[in-house]
Each structure stands twice: as C-alpha cells, then as structure tokens.
Amino acid sequence: MKRIISITVLALLAQYAAAQAPLYASVDPFIGAGGEGHIFVGPAAPFGMAKPGPDCKGHSNSGYNVDKQVPLLGFSQTHVSGTGGGPKYGNIQIMPFSGDFDAIYQESARGEEIAQTAYYSVLLEKWKIKAALTTADRATFYRFIFGQKGKKAIKLDAGFFLGEPTTPDPDAREAQQFVGSEVSVTGSNEIRGYTRIRGGFNNGAAYTVYFSAVFDHPFSNFSTWKDQQLFPGKQVQFDSGEKTGAIAYFDAASGDTIQVKIGISFISEEKASYNLDQEIPDWQFNRVLATTQQKWEKLLNRIEIDHSATKEQRIMFYTGLYHTMLMPVDRTGENPLWISNEPYYDDFYAIWDTFRSSNPLITLVSPSREVDIINSLLNIYHRDNYMPDARSGNCNGRTQGGSNADVLIADAYVKGLQGIDYNKGLQAMLKNADVPPGDNEEKEGRGGLPDYNTLGYVSTRFPRAGTRTVEYAYNDYCIATVAKGLQQDRLYERFLKQSDNWQNLWRPYENNGANGFILPKDQNGRWVDTIDCNVLNAPYKQIQYNPLAVDYPNCVCWWCAFFYEASSWEYSLYVPHDVKTLISKSGGEEAFKKRLDIFFNNKYYNVSNEPSFLTPNLYHWIGRPDLSSTRIHLIIDSSYNTSAAGLPGNDDSGAMSSWLDFHMMGLFPNAGQSYYLITAPYFTRTVIHQENGKDFSIIAHNLSKKNTYIRSVKLNGLNYDKSWLEHQDIVNGGELVLEMGDKAGTWGTQVRPPSK
Amino acid sequence: MKRIISITVLALLAQYAAAQAPLYASVDPFIGAGGEGHIFVGPAAPFGMAKPGPDCKGHSNSGYNVDKQVPLLGFSQTHVSGTGGGPKYGNIQIMPFSGDFDAIYQESARGEEIAQTAYYSVLLEKWKIKAALTTADRATFYRFIFGQKGKKAIKLDAGFFLGEPTTPDPDAREAQQFVGSEVSVTGSNEIRGYTRIRGGFNNGAAYTVYFSAVFDHPFSNFSTWKDQQLFPGKQVQFDSGEKTGAIAYFDAASGDTIQVKIGISFISEEKASYNLDQEIPDWQFNRVLATTQQKWEKLLNRIEIDHSATKEQRIMFYTGLYHTMLMPVDRTGENPLWISNEPYYDDFYAIWDTFRSSNPLITLVSPSREVDIINSLLNIYHRDNYMPDARSGNCNGRTQGGSNADVLIADAYVKGLQGIDYNKGLQAMLKNADVPPGDNEEKEGRGGLPDYNTLGYVSTRFPRAGTRTVEYAYNDYCIATVAKGLQQDRLYERFLKQSDNWQNLWRPYENNGANGFILPKDQNGRWVDTIDCNVLNAPYKQIQYNPLAVDYPNCVCWWCAFFYEASSWEYSLYVPHDVKTLISKSGGEEAFKKRLDIFFNNKYYNVSNEPSFLTPNLYHWIGRPDLSSTRIHLIIDSSYNTSAAGLPGNDDSGAMSSWLDFHMMGLFPNAGQSYYLITAPYFTRTVIHQENGKDFSIIAHNLSKKNTYIRSVKLNGLNYDKSWLEHQDIVNGGELVLEMGDKAGTWGTQVRPPSK
C-alpha cells in the first residue's frame, strides 16, 4: 500500500515537473560564446569561484572557440566570462587521452558538444573519450568515459594558462606570464599542486591557484614532468620557475569510466583539499549537478515571466539573468592578502561595464548579494587603498574611465540597501576624488586628477581625457548624492558643482546636424583640433579630431584615445544626472530629438558599448517614451538572439545580457539614481519575487505584435503619468499595469524624468 | 713517506692556524644587540635568507632582548638586523620543552648564552635543555640536548611573528598582521607548513614563509593545533585564517639529543624541502657550521688589519664588517612575484641608511655582490615599477627621505662597476625624478614631487619637506652624473641645475652663532615660522620652528616632521655634492669652521643619525683634514665599543658599523662620487685584498697614541697632497703611505676635495 502511494506521488511529481520545466533548463550557455560575446560555456555556480571548462586552440578570453574545427586542449578550472582585453586564468588544466603517452601536449577534435546550466560534455573524437563536467562553488567534477580499449591516461597541467604567446614576452601588455608551478602525486589516487601566474587583463601581480585532484580509481602508474621532460614515477616536481605537470595512467582494472574531482583554492593545497571535501565528499556526479542547478533555479526564479514569452525570448531572458550572475566571484575565505569578516569578491570586469545594468539587476534579484559585493569593495578600499574599477587575481587594475565604483555606492544608497557603512562608502569615494593614484593611473583611482581638480576637466595631456571628464562629473554627482544623505553639506555642494564639469568640455560645434559636443581641450584651455599620432606605423602623422573621429587605432594607442572605445557623438550624450541641461545645451527638445534620431539612424550608436546604454531611453526626457520603446525594441530585435553570436560585443560580465533583461521587462535603471525608466515590455506579465518576500508585477494589458505602445499606466490601481518608476515602489510590492495600444498616447509626455 | 709528509704538513698548518686565528672568531654578535643597536645575535650566512635566532619576550626588532631576566619564547627562522621602526618576520618558531605538554605557550629563563659567527647556544633553564643553532643560506640547524629525564617535546609554531600586539589592530601602522598559516605532519619525522603575514616595518603586502622541518628521530606521537586548541594525532591543520602549529613528542628511545633542520622558502613547501636537501643533506652540525664560517672568513679576509690593532679594535672592526653583510638578503630563485635571470635581493632597510657607507663597503669587499644588489634593484624597478628605498617581504615601502637608490646607481657608475645596464639605471632614476608615486608616498618614488618639480622645493604641505628637498637635490646630482657619462647632455644640464634646489630652502637666519639654514617654506614661497601641531594630545597647539626645533614628537607625527629624524642644524650641512657653495653661503671658510665647531661642541650633532655621516669630514673642505680626524676619533672613542650597547643608535643594516670600519681604515666615501676622504687610521697597516686580485695597502708610519696627525702622504711612492683618494687608485692596487706625527702639518691644506 505504502509503495503504491509512493509511486502515485512520484507520478504526480513527474507530471508536475513536465508542466513546470525548471528555469535553469531555459539557459543556453552557448549564447554569446561565439561572435564577440566571449561567454564561458562550462559549468559554474552563481558567482562561483570554480569555472571548469574547455580550452580550445585559438580561444577567446573564455578559453572557448565556437568554431568546431578548432581542437580542444583540455579543461582548466578557472575562467572569466564575456571579457575583452587580455585573457586571465585558465589554470590547472586536465585532459584525458589514450594515445601517445610520451607527449605532454595533447589535442583532440570535438564532437557531440552539450552545454547546459552546470553541465558541459564533449566527445574527444581522437580517442573516443566522452568528457562530462559539472561543478560546485570551489570544486569541479569530471567524468571521463573511455571509448577505446587499452591504457587510459589523464594529465594535469600546472603550467597551462590562457593566452600564452609562442614567444614569452614578460613586457607584453595584458598578457599572462608564468611565474611558477608545482605538482605532487600525494597518494594512489591524488595529485596536488599549484600554478602561479602574473599579468593578464589587469596587468596584475602574481596570483596562485592551488589544487587537489582526487581520482575514483588508483593510478596504475604515473609520470610527472618539468620543463617538457617526463619523469616516470617521480612523485614531486618542486617549483623552480618551470612548468610542471603530472600524468596518471589507469589499467584495465579501472574499467571504462574514470571520475576526477578537483578542489581549488587561492590559499593553499590543503585549503583546496578542504574545499573539495566540503563540497564534493562523494562520487555522485548527478548530486553535484543537481545542487548547482538548484542554486541557479533559486535565483532565476526571482523573476517570473509568463506564457506570453516565446521559447526563444524565454531562453534569451533567463540566459541573460544567468550571465549576470557568473561574476564577480565570491571568494570569501579565499583572500590570500588579509583576513577580514567582510565578504571578499574578485573578478570585477569592470565596474565601468557592470554598474549600468548588471549590478542593478543583481540588486533586484538578490539585494543581499549586492550588499556583499559592495562591502567587499569597501573592504578592498580599506586594506588595498582604493576600490577597484576592475580587479582580478586579487589585484586592482585596468580602470576604464571614471571611478565608477562610486556609482555602485550611490545606487545602493538611493535604493536603501541595508548593511553597508555609507560613511565608509563616502570615504572611499572621496579617496577616488581627491587622491591621485600615482605612477600607474590604470590601476585604480582617477587618472588625470591633477587636471580635473584644478581645471575642471582632464586636458589632452592625459589619456582618455574625454571619457574621464564626463564620467568623473557623473561620479561626482554620485558623491554629492551620498554626501547629501549623510548631511555632509559642504561636500554635497562641492560635488554637486563639480558634477557640471562635463560642461567645461562642451564646445559649440556643428556636426552632421547636431550642435554642441564634448571635445578635447588642452591644458591651457585651448580646443584641440589636431591630434599628433604617436602609434608606431600609424597611417597618419596627425588626424583632425571631430565628433566622429576615432583616434584609435589610426593614430594613438587604445588607452590613449580621447574617448575610450567611443566617439564624441556617443559620449556627448552621456550626462545621466542632468539630461535636462544636456537638452538645453543641445538646442532644446526639438533639436535634441533630431540629434537622437540622427544618432541612431546614421548608426553613430554602438549597441555593444556601455557608454550608450542609457541613450535609447533619452527620448523619455523630451516626453517621448514611445520613441525610447521603439528604439529599444529595434535594437533588441536586430542585435540579440539565441545563437552563439546572439550578443552584441563582449558580454562584459553580463552587461549586454542585463541590458537586454531589463528592457524585456520594460524597465531600465539609471544607475546611481533611484528610478527605472518605463518602456514597453516583451511579456504580458513579469513578476519579481523579491528577497523581502514581496512580489512586484509588471502587467501589459493587450500587449500584442501590433499593440506595442503604452497608452496609460496604473500603479497599484492608481493612474500613473510618470514615465519612470521608483525603486521603492518595487520594494514595497505591488503592480504596475500598462494598457497597451497600437499607437502612442499622452502617457509620459507631460512630466520629465529627474534631472539634477 | 707520503704519509709522513702529510702529517708534517698538517702539523705546520695547525701551528699556522693557532698563530692565525680565523677572522670570524673576531666577530662578536652581541655587539649592538643591546642599547638601540637591534643587532640580530643568531647565526647567519653572509646576505643569508635564513636567520634563525632567539625570540625573547619584550624583544627588539631583532627578536632579541639583551636583558637576561627576560625569558625566551623560541627560535624563529627569519629576522632582520639593526632595524628601527616596526618589526618584521620572526616566522616559523621552534621551541623544545619538556614540561606541560598541553600548553602551546612556552617560555624559559636563559643561561649560558653564547653567540659566535654562525653559532648560537643557550641553556633553557626551565627544562635544562641546551639549544645550539647554526645555519646555511636557506636552511637552519638545531641541536637540542635534553638535560632531564622524561618525555621530550618540540613545537613548531606557524602562527608566531614578531611584534604581535596583545589586541590585534589590523590598522596599526608598521605592525605585522596575521593572514594565515598551515601545518602538516608529513611523515614520521617531518613537519611542513607556512605562515602568511602582512604589514610590519614597510606596511607591506602579505608574504609567505614556507618550511620543511626534518627531525633526526621519529616522533613517538604528535599533536597539531589550531586557534589555541590541540588536536592529538591530527596530521593536518589547513589554513582557515587561524594560527596553527604542531608539537612533536619523543620517547626515551630517542636519547637525549634531538636534532632538527628546517628548510625555508618564499616559494613553496617543496622548495623549502629542496633548499634543505641541497644545503643540509646530512646531520653534521659541525659541517654546516664550518661551511658558513668559511663563507664569512672569505669575505672578512678581504680586509686585513695588522698587529697594531688591539684585540678590542679587531673585534669592533670585523664585527662591523660582519654587520654590513647581514643584509640585504640574497633571495635569488625565491621571488614569488616574477621569474627572471637577474639576482633578487630583499630586505633593504633602508637604502637611505645604507647608501652612505654600507653599500660602499660592500663595493670595496665584493664589487660583484654590489653589482648583484644593483641589478636586483633594476629588476625590481622593471617588474615592480620603482626601485625601492626600503623593501621587505617582497614589497617596497617606507621611503625615508629621497630616492637614494639613485645614489647607488651613481656610486656604481663612478666606481666603474661592470655588468650593470646603466641606461636602464638612468631610466629607473628618471622614473623617481619624474613620476609621482601617488596615493602612498611612503611606498616608493619621490613624495612631494609635484611641488619639487614646479617650485624647486617641497613645500610644507608635504611631510618631510626639508629632508626631501635636500636629498632630492643630491639625488639629482647623481642623475646628472650618470646622464653625463651616458652623453645625455640635456638630462645632465637639467639635473645639474636641479641639484642646486637645496638653495631654494636656504634662508638667511642666525642661530647660535651660525648663519643660513634650510628652513620650511610654504607653497606660496613664504617662510614658515610657526607649525600647527596635529598630533593627538600634543603638548602644544603650535610650535615655533627654528634650526634646533624638533617638531616630532611634540607637535607633528613621526613622518610629518620637516626634517626626518633630525634638526635643521643637522640637515643644513647635507650638501654632499657642493660643500664649496655651502661654505660660501654659510659665510666663508672661517664662519664654516666656527659653525662645525659649534655643531659638534654643542652636541647638535647626532652620531646615531645617517644624515650627519659625512659631517665630521667637512673640515676637509676648509683645508683642515686634521680637524676631521680629531672629530672622528672622538666620536668613535666615545660612542663605539665592544659591549652590547657598543653601537650608537640602530645599526640600520650595518650603517653604523660600516661608518666605523671606514674610519678605522682612515677612509670615508662620499657615496655617489668617486673618492674617499683620508683621515688618520687606527692601524699601521690595512690591506684590501680585492676581488680583482690586486691589493691596496694603507700604511701609517709612526702611528702611535701621540702621533695621530697625518704629516705627509705618498701614493705609490709619489708625494700626494690631496686629502682624498680616488676609487680607481684602490682598484689599481698600490699603497698609500701616511707619515704620522704629533701635530698637524700642511698636508691637505692647499687643495680642497671636489665640489660640483
């Protein structure tokens, strides 16, 4: 009887499961793995330290190459996702093989590749080995099924890292450089060791990744290697500044399947072993897989979209949410630099990319996580001198433009996140604003500060002068915001005034139908029209600078351009705190509309570049939220899809993905400020199940392919004329009901979103 | 027949050896271990990484306390010698005991303490354990003889470090802070592990010291501990940010004597084990001792003083030479930050202290060593951004005044040291001179540079403005010197001009009979007479600044004083490149003589402070080298002796000691320039046996207690009127013969040593 009931229950559960497919099944890790997306395709836990995945020949920064013709070299335990610039990590590479046992280098063609949430598998065609991967937070799990008879081998390479040049160049910019490695065969089925690497994306100091790899069968014998020479049976290769590794061999008694689990740590081999024991005490591949899947499910479940979503939209949306939570990485307890009770996060790639939408999306899904991330930044400031813009391998480095961690502090403050010492936050922001970082202005803080704090702009004697000036102005607005809240009136006044500094580079200048641009000015206050090229073999000696000019790569180095990764057309629309004044300086609302139209129609807009993330929404400030919606939907429909190249540009730690997700919900944050701009959503109902237990729903009545215009809005049953929504309204729970129609109405036309 | 000859030869050798006691026997490690000397008393190899030695309760920076009433806590493997400021190291502490086996903390009264070159022994009176220590370069050796029956225990504490406050304060300045530790009992007679510490003297980033300790008897049983809790039989305590250690127990079968050897490394435990195997493969305590003694003997032998030296003088001289070669530490192959073919030295404490006499003495004794040290500095510049002024634990930090590594480059250049890329040296110097170090101006480079490079002096808005200005001026002279040699004429002219910058703070100002002083000036060019105190609980709100004022500690913080560790009286005599102009600005030779007399007679001179190292020699520049001699001998006779307090002030990595040694030989270098000033020596014959195989002798005919004046001089048989000697004359080999008499003659009165 009992048994019959159980079976009935199970049957019911199975039926329920079929109806309610888990959300993690809607994640497709291959989206953005091709093109410029640089998405990591291997398994990962949310914000997880371990990211085991395939490393291909000619790989992108994620280790992966979507071109199936390119062979696979192995699976390393650490990766980043979506990044540009130089590669980082790719440490401790494992590779099964059954061919030439005397060769350290191994590669195989790939077949039958599958990537799902927390799961990756591939057939190594050369030897018919099927490799399946899953992972916990700090330990990885491999199942290798050997399809050919004969001896089986698995190598662990402690010397491998991503982006190694054929000829090592210790002076190469953003290149990882080998420092040391070690391996020990510590038992009949365990190999330990570490790799020590410096440089990479952030030109950082040396970091060390320790590992303990445990196999489910004893080795029949083994070799270790140093500097390309194999030593059969030698247990230890100590670190003498050369590459080391180990090969474990298995005989027929081991059967066809060998499983390996690898704990990693940035602290020690013993800590790596501890991490492994804590997270993967047994050999249950499916248990590890299910645990990590459930971690994702819990987070993905925070935003529910209804049946109106097409399958493709559902995949795009949840994959976007997944991308947003791959980094930064929770390394609490794994900081080799200091001990602290604060959380510790690493791999900020970069806050310049993520502050606009990735962090705000994390704040919506899991505000406690965002609090941890910000407290980690404040702890880094406290012990390591500055909050990072970018950080990786326990080292700040590669500040893109402004000191945009400031925006995160302000964003948390205005959204009322609890558990953050905002006085300390203000100190950390003031450090950025007042103390030049010195020698290496890419490392942290504000480069060009001596100019900015005396002239009110960064002059052309500093790289990225335009980017820096306009971003510092907004960062200053963020400082003013927090200072005001903390009743620091003098600071508030100072920084509010400084937030106008973008105007010091505003030059009346006509270009392609628009007037007024942020343009370069020298230290003596003279506009700079001609830029002397300094790049070796530049095609020109000088170039004329104008709002469409791209000084890199034709003239100056990547980092030396006036605007980082952008033109003046793009950056001259970046005044997130004072769009009203921007409109006025551009000639009023009519001229501004024309300017935006030209910008988008002439493709001066670059969908893949973060500085323009807010620009499609600027129509809101001239009372035309309908035009914002139209632009945004055009962009999504033309630039995003579920293919491997379905993300525009590098995903940049979820930046592109979170931009998409917000807009699919019909909201977009102006990070550092307390509101979201409202546009037409993609779904008839989106429910945000908040950490505080309160639901907030966005409902679009009569939404259809034809009815894409918001005619009227009600918030919690009351008419709502504003085209923006306060974060507090979401926190309180409730519903925003949009009445959709086939043309624009008067909603949102009468009042304008906030300006300074 | 053959055997008979051998015996005869041996007998002759023994006879010879008795007559010729080894020089290392003239070293007394206790000199300077008391008072303010902070000398390390344990065994050490020349420039050796391992420095095992006693750690006492209430220790100085060396770990030692000369007060015999103070108990001993154990012996750690790493120390520095002679340093001031906050402590550093004291890692991996070993302690034998036989009392309470459940207590981690152990201490014992000391008896029968002996310290000799490469040897230290002590009786731990509490348990009648005799501990004897010797060391190799990277591995240490302990012999413990247990004087009581019963169980024997030896603990290894991976959590201990010097200067731990009772209440940990992670924000404490110059305090070491615990980051992590680990221990593993890896076999029947081996314990491995590491300690990870940050902060200390140079407020540096975390460093890790790994160890492998091997015992000559198997453990009967063992305990490990974590965070004060003992775990009997538990082999591993992994790093969870808590202190760990291990206690090994030995039963009666082990006998009374237990020997332990400990390899250390900054790379890994395996590297520590490798270092141990390489250096101490056996259990021959005396072989290790003799090997290290012979390393010292070879270096001490480079300077031979004759029988005219009293026993005490001989001990003072060779102990001084020994002190000079304890640091910096050769860590080639032990750099965890990058790999390189260049040598790697650490523990520069600080170049501000050592450039004046320690490095020049190393250059005389072993120019190849000085070349290695300088190449290490250039490699640090290349990979770690700046040459250090101070560096410890693989991290630059705690720049005292100027960028005095510049002086070392110039000193090597003018002395013709081969094997240095002086173009790279010039780049490294220009980095100091042109690129502000940013946020932490104590870390490296030149603080206050924006002022110095625009105003020509550092204004009072920066700490240590006086020290910085005068030292930068001399550093600039050193840059000019190298630039000139490399035919960089524009750089030469620029820096020669900048070397006059000390004059920008020269103020006509009368004080106690002297006129003209280096005095504080504000950013607007106004002299500053009143300093606002900013120290908490300062006794005054303001103090008047005058040439005798000491703004620290009565008014401003240690690092904030106008002159670092000194008064204006002292620093207003520091113009090593242009004493001629200094004399002229002081009112001419007569006024300058009066000024020097007042300076010394009124005790404005501070014998223990490096900025005045050259001052007793300044009489040379007014044609009175006899007065220099008289002053120098007075200073030596009143401030130096063979007692534990026999060094004035902190020895500062051999600074005080090398000052003594040069003056005992009758020479003193003006570092950065190519000559030595000649004064009356202490010995009738000193022979420098140079690395190049050529001897240079300094002979003082008729030297006696009465005949202390140089009457005339011959260099290689020719009359020599100059009161200074060129380095090249030493390099070429030859002899300097001084005819001594009982009053001063005309020698040295007609020509003046070089000025700019």
Chain B residue closest to A265 (CA)?
B239
* pLDDT over threshold 60, residue A51: yes
Percentages (nearest 5) of helix, strand, coil residues in chain A: 30, 25, 45
| pLDDT reading at A5 higher than 60 | no
User: What are B263's two structure tokens?
Assistant: 């390899």
A339: closest CA of chain B, how far (Å): 5
- CA B573 to CA A551: how far, in whole Å? 53
Percent of residues, chain B, with pLDDT higher than 90:
90
My answer on whether omega of the bond before A553 falls inside 30° of 0, hence cis, is yes
Structure tokens at B672: 């950065």
Helix segments in B385-501, DSSP class H: 405-414, 422-434, 449-455, 465-485, 489-498
Average pLDDT of the segment spanning B517-538: 93
Using CB atoms within 10 A of its CB, is residue B145 exposed (0-12), middle (13-18) or buried (19+)? Answer: middle
- Nearest-Cα residue of chain A relative to residue B449: A438
Q: Give contacts of A343 with chain B, Cβ < 8 Å.
A: none
By a Cβ cutoff of 8 Å, what residues of chain A touch chain B? Answer: 170, 177-180, 182, 184, 194, 196, 198, 205-206, 208, 236, 238-241, 267-268, 270-271, 273-274, 333, 336-340, 383, 385-386, 431, 435-440, 445, 450
- One CATH from 3.30.70.560, 1.10.540.10, 3.40.50.11610, 3.30.2080.10 for B304-325+606-756: 3.30.2080.10
pLDDT tens digit sequence for A101-155: 788 999 999 999 999 999 999 999 999 999 999 999 999 999 999 998 878 999 9
Nearest chain B residue (CA) to A439: B437
Query: What does the block give as tokens for B589?
Result: 């030779």
**What is the reported pLDDT for A8?**
52
pLDDT above 60 (res B750): yes
- DSSP SS3 for A739: strand
How many Cβ atoms from other residues are within 10 Å of residue B463's Cβ?
20
Contacts of residue A105, Cβ cutoff 8 Å, sequence gap at least 6: none
For residue A2, what pLDDT band results from cuts at 50, 70 and 90? very low
Could you read off the pLDDT of A690-746 as tens digits, one per residue? 999 999 999 999 999 999 999 999 999 999 999 999 999 999 999 999 999 999 999
Per-residue model confidence (pLDDT) at position A439: 86
| pLDDT(B12) > 60 | no
Q: Which of A351, A498, A486 is nearest to A426 (CA)?
A: A486
Give the mean pLDDT of chain B. Answer: 95
Alpha carbon distance B579, A509 (integer Å): 60
Which of A729-738, B544-553, B583-592, B714-723 bottoms out in mean pLDDT, i.e. has the lowest?
A: B544-553
Between these two residues, A549 and B94, which has the higher pLDDT value?
B94
With beta carbons less than 8 A apart as the criterion, state whether B556 and B535 touch. Answer: yes
pLDDT above 90: residue B13:
no
Q: How far apart are CA B402 and CA B593, in angstroms?
A: 28
Q: Whose CA is closest to B47, among B18, B80, B17, B19?
A: B80
Give pLDDT tens digits for A301-317: 999 999 999 999 999 99
How far are the Cα atoms of A46, A506, B117, B293, B678 from residue A51, in angstroms, in the given order? 10, 45, 53, 53, 68
Q: How far apart are CA B166 and CA B175, in angstroms?
A: 12
User: How buried is residue B754: exposed, middle or buried, by Cβ count under 10 Å (0-12/13-18/19+)?
Assistant: middle
| Interval A398-432: pLDDT, tens | 999 999 999 999 999 999 999 999 999 999 999 99
B5 pLDDT more than 50: no
Q: What is the mean pLDDT of residues A255-276?
A: 98
CA distance B239 to chain A (A): 6
- Lowest pLDDT segment from A487-491, A564-568, B202-206, B215-219: A564-568
- Give the E-state strand segments of A604-733 in sequence order: 667-669, 675-678, 685-689, 695-701, 709-715, 718-719, 724-726
What are the backbone dihedrals phi and psi of residue A84, each rounded to the nearest 5 degrees, phi first? -105, -165
pLDDT, tens digit (0-9, with 9 covering 90-100), for A71-103: 999 999 999 999 999 999 999 999 999 977 788
- Segment B16-42 shows an average pLDDT of 89
Report CA-CA distances (Å) from B87 to B80, B134, B203, B378, B627: 8, 23, 10, 26, 39
According to the model, what pLDDT value does residue B535 have?
Answer: 84
Bridge partner residues of B714 (DSSP)? B719, B737
Window from A328-342, B421-435, B527-541, B717-731 with minimum mean pLDDT: B527-541
What letters, b where the CB count within 10 A reaches 16 and e where it falls short, cover A16-47? eeeeeeebbebbbbbbbbbbbbbbbbbbbbbb
Q: From CA A81, how far away is CA A208, in angstroms rounded?
A: 20
- Average confidence (pLDDT) over B448-470: 97
pLDDT band with cut points at 50, 70 and 90 for residue B248: very high
Q: Which pLDDT band, with edges at 50, 70 and 90, does B8 fall under?
A: low
The predicted-structure confidence for A211-228, as pLDDT tens digits, reads as follows: 999 999 999 999 999 999
Residue B39 to residue B29: CA distance in whole angstroms = 8
Helix (H) or strand (E) holding B33: none
In angstroms, the separation between the Cα of residue B9 and the nearest Cα of chain A is: 44
Confidence check: pLDDT of B2 > 50 = no
- What is the C-alpha R_g of chain A? 27
Task: Return left, alpha or beta for B652; rule: phi > 0 is left, psi -120 to 50 is alpha, else beta.
Answer: left
Average pLDDT over residues A256-262: 97
**How far, CA to CA in Å, does B217 sit from each of A284, B152, B192, B213?**
43, 11, 16, 12
Share of chain A above pLDDT 70, in %: 97
Of B322, B327, B444, B324, which is closest to residue B383 (Cα–Cα)?
A: B444
Q: What is the mean pLDDT of residues B127-140?
A: 98
Percent of chain B residues topping a pLDDT of 70: 97
Alpha-carbon span B171 to A382, nearest angstrom: 9
The Cα of B623 is separated from the nearest Cα of chain A by a number of Å equal to: 45
ipTM score assigned to the predicted complex: 0.93
| Domain residue spans of chain B | 27-297, 304-325+606-756
For chain B, state the CA radius of gyration.
27
**Residue B11's CB: how many other CB atoms inside 10 A?**
10
Of B268, B436, B450, which is closest to A238 when you measure between CB atoms?
B268
B196–A336 CB contact, under 8 Å: yes
Helix (H) or strand (E) holding A75: strand A72-76
B256-314 confidence digits (pLDDT tens): 999 999 999 999 999 999 999 999 999 999 999 999 999 999 999 999 999 999 999 99
pLDDT tops 60 at residue B18: no
Tokens at residue A731, please? 């926190």
Task: For residue B307, report the phi and psi dihedrals to the nearest 5 degrees.
Answer: -65, -15
Average confidence (pLDDT) over B498-518: 97
The answer to whether the CB of A120 falls within 8 A of the CB of A233 is: no
Contact between chains at B268 and A239 (C-beta distance less than 8 A)? yes
For strands A176-185 and A236-237, give the pairing.
antiparallel
Give the whole-angstrom CA distance, residue B51 versus residue B64.
12
The average pLDDT across A491-499 equals 98
Comparing A397-401, B99-103, B122-126, B177-181, which segment has the lowest mean pLDDT?
B99-103
Instruction: With CB atoms and an 8 Å threshold, state whether B267 touches A239.
Output: yes
**Alpha-helical runs (H) found in B650-743:** 655-665, 727-731
Q: Are strands A695-701 and A734-741 parallel, antiparallel or unpaired?
A: parallel
The beta-carbon neighbor of B180 closest among A196, A238, A339 is A339
Q: Do A440 and B385 touch (CB under 8 A)?
A: yes
Spatial CA neighbour of B735 closest among B690, B702, B688:
B688
Q: Which residues contact B694 (CB under 8 A, 6 or more apart)?
A: B731, B732, B733
A23-297 architecture in CATH? Distorted Sandwich (2.70)
* Among the four given CATH numbers 2.70.98.10, 3.40.50.300, 3.30.450.40, 3.40.50.970, the one describing domain B27-297: 2.70.98.10
Please compute the mean of the pLDDT values over residues B676-705 and round it to a whole number: 98
